[in-house]
Amino acid sequence: MPVDHIIDRYDARREALVQILLDVQKELRWLPRNVLKRVSDRLGVTLREIYNVATFYKHFSLVPQGRHQMSVCVGTACHVRGAQKLLDRVSNVVGIQAGGTSKDERFSLHTVNCVGCCALGPVMTVDGEYLSNPTTEELEKVCETCE
Ligand code: FES
């Protein structure tokens, strides 16, 4: 199974469940059911417990995620400064709605609440890089750099 090396890294210790899931998420970009079943079997933790953890933390995804993560801030400051228009612009450029992943798994688009730079709002991030109210042309250029 492709995740055994991750489980082995933590000697299949049940106390390492969250760290194992974090590593799986990082490597696969999501937590497929067959992988969670393998983690369950190897750690001796019920699948139910694993799903409790996986659904508690926003960092984990139970559906495939794109290679590039786009997040548009819809916190209060960004909202009043035009976050919805920015979100619409991003959706048009990448062709997906918030919460979605493109069919080629190139992009995932999410909304977030305040990323800590309200004065630059409306803001978004692309793979962790901050962009302040990018135009359509700027967004298209950023997308060109994403494989
Ligand atoms: S509300 Fe968007 S950065 Fe704070």
Q: Each residue's pLDDT tens digit in the chain (147 positions)?
A: 789 999 999 999 999 999 999 999 999 999 999 999 999 999 999 999 999 999 999 889 999 999 999 999 999 999 999 999 999 999 999 999 999 999 999 999 999 999 999 999 999 999 999 999 999 999 999 999 998
Check: pTM over 0.85? Answer yes or no. no
What whole-number distance in Å separates Cα of residue 134 and Cα of residue 48? 42
Give residue 121 CA to ligand 1 midpoint distance, Å: 6
Q: Is 87 in the pocket of ligand 1 (CB under 6 A)?
A: no
Q: Is 98 in the pocket of ligand 1 (CB under 6 A)?
A: no
CA-75 nearest atom, ligand 1? 1
CA-76 nearest atom, ligand 1? 1
Give residue 70 CA to ligand 1 midpoint distance, Å: 15
Task: Mark out the alpha helices in 32-82 (DSSP H runs).
Answer: 33-43, 47-56, 76-80
- Rounded to the nearest 10 degrees, the angle between the axes of helix 47-56 and helix 17-28 is 70
